[in-house]
Amino acid sequence: MNHFAAISQFDGSRRAAGQMARVEDTRAAAEDFRLFTLGQPKVRYYQSFDLVKVPYPTRYGFRNAFSRERFVEFMHIVNRVFVVQFDTSDGLKTLLVSPSDHERNGETPFFRRLQDKAPKAIEPLIAKRYTTVPEIVASIGLQPEDIDYITYDHLHTQDVRRWLGTDDEPAIFPNAKLLIMQREVDCALDLNPYQADWYCPNGLTGIAEEKIIQLQGDTMIGDGLALLHTPGHTEGNHSIVVHTDEGLWVTSENGISVDSYAPELSTAAGVAKYAKTIGTEVIINANTLENSIDQYISMVQEKTIAGPSKRDARYPNIFPSSEMTPFWAFPGTTPSFYVGEAVHGGLVLP
């Protein structure tokens, strides 16, 4: 697209021979990128909306850090959609970040097994559906035709066929195009069994080629909005960086809580002790473990770009796309810092 621009700050930042040298080279590049982005215009509008709350294994969310003494197998994570409007040389654009089709995402093999095993009587403990993406779009006064782009930090659990349309069904968002790293598309179309357990079957099948914009790397999408390739959780994972009145929000699922990026402060069971014991500054989201070395680097990159939160400067301004949320039935999974929601600027209606 004419208004896309390549970002060069991170070129070569992961090429050092030593692993911690790569971390520090990337941290330095992230500091440069943060200062550059803070000097650029902000997006016009940014708002988060809760979509669905689902169970997620603690052994994945906090890898080995969650205390085994609690015998708590699951935490709850809330999946959200973010509506972003931003200026470009081609005019104002509207983006949906993480618009999960949770009515279809349940067919992801891992969650399908979980639902099939659970007694109906405890189904409310398994998942809670708040609303749907089309309902959110309508509630703020937008029409389906107003959506220009959708994006996901990665394609775990995602089925985008209804949003973009196929030969067999019309698109709910007829003008929307998917922004995704080419590496993520390549992997999603040729999965090994461990990865396939977390991808919705046929989630991209039948979508017209021109509906998917495959990015080659770090890209400035428009004023105040960047997509950065942050591999680790998946090979094609990217982070969404948005410049708002609250600073730079950074969104991905490399970590499932702000606690994941400041584990020394965490109130989740065992996490702070674990972080101190092994000397780590982040706790990775580890359901697939595609590349934990890169994921560690990516999380340091994300927290450095985000900078300190205006809500509590001890924590980075991270807004996880799936955020651990407290629940009485899962003791020990209360985070020390919970973002919850954010709204900035004003929506521009066509």
Quick: pLDDT tens for 173-196.
999 999 999 999 999 999 999 999
Domain spanning 5-330, CATH class: alpha beta
**146: DSSP letter:** G
pLDDT score of 330? 92
Percentage of residues of the chain with pLDDT beyond 70: 97
Percentage of residues of the chain with pLDDT beyond 90: 87
pLDDT score of 120? 61
Nearest to 108 by CA among 197, 184, 187: 197
Helices (H), 66-132: 102-105, 109-117, 123-126
What whole-number distance in Å separates Cα of residue 319 and Cα of residue 311?
12
Model confidence pLDDT, tens digit, residues 20-64: 999 999 999 999 999 999 999 999 999 999 999 999 999 999 999
Confidence band of 85 (pLDDT split at 50, 70, 90): very high
Helices (H), 259-331: 271-278, 292-306
Mean of pLDDT over the chain:
94
> Residue 118 above 60 pLDDT?
yes
**Distance from the Cα of residue 314 to its chain's centroid:** 22
Nearest to 151 by CA among 92, 238, 247: 238
> Residue 172 above 90 pLDDT?
yes
- Do 228 and 238 form a contact (C-beta atoms < 8 A)? yes
pLDDT score of 316? 98
> Residue 127 above 80 pLDDT?
no
Confidence band of 128 (pLDDT split at 50, 70, 90): confident
Would you call 215 helix, strand, or coil by DSSP?
strand
pLDDT score of 122? 57
Nearest to 233 by CA among 249, 251, 252: 252
Nearest to 41 by CA among 251, 239, 242: 242
* Residues near 116 by beta carbon (within 8 Å), at least 6 away in sequence: none
Helices (H), 40-159: 58-61, 102-105, 109-117, 123-126, 133-139
> Residue 116 above 90 pLDDT?
no
> Residue 121 above 90 pLDDT?
no
What whole-number distance in Å separates Cα of residue 271 and Cα of residue 273?
5
Q: What is the mean pLDDT of residues 193-212?
A: 93
CB-based contacts of 33-36 (< 8 A; 24+ apart in sequence): 33/7, 33/9, 33/228, 33/305, 34/248, 34/304, 34/305, 34/306, 34/307, 36/9
pLDDT score of 171? 98
Nearest to 285 by CA among 260, 306, 249, 266: 260
A 10 A CB-CB count for 61 gives 28
> Residue 329 above 70 pLDDT?
yes
Q: What is the mean pLDDT of residues 282-294?
A: 94
Would you call 173 helix, strand, or coil by DSSP?
coil
* Residues near 259 by beta carbon (within 8 Å), at least 6 away in sequence: 265, 266, 267, 268, 271, 283, 324, 335, 336, 337
Q: What amino acid occupies position 129?
A: R
> Residue 1 above 70 pLDDT?
no
Q: What is the mean pLDDT of residues 129-145?
A: 97
pLDDT score of 227? 98
pTM for the model: 0.95
Q: What amino acid occupies position 263?
A: P
Q: What is the mean pLDDT of residues 124-153?
A: 93
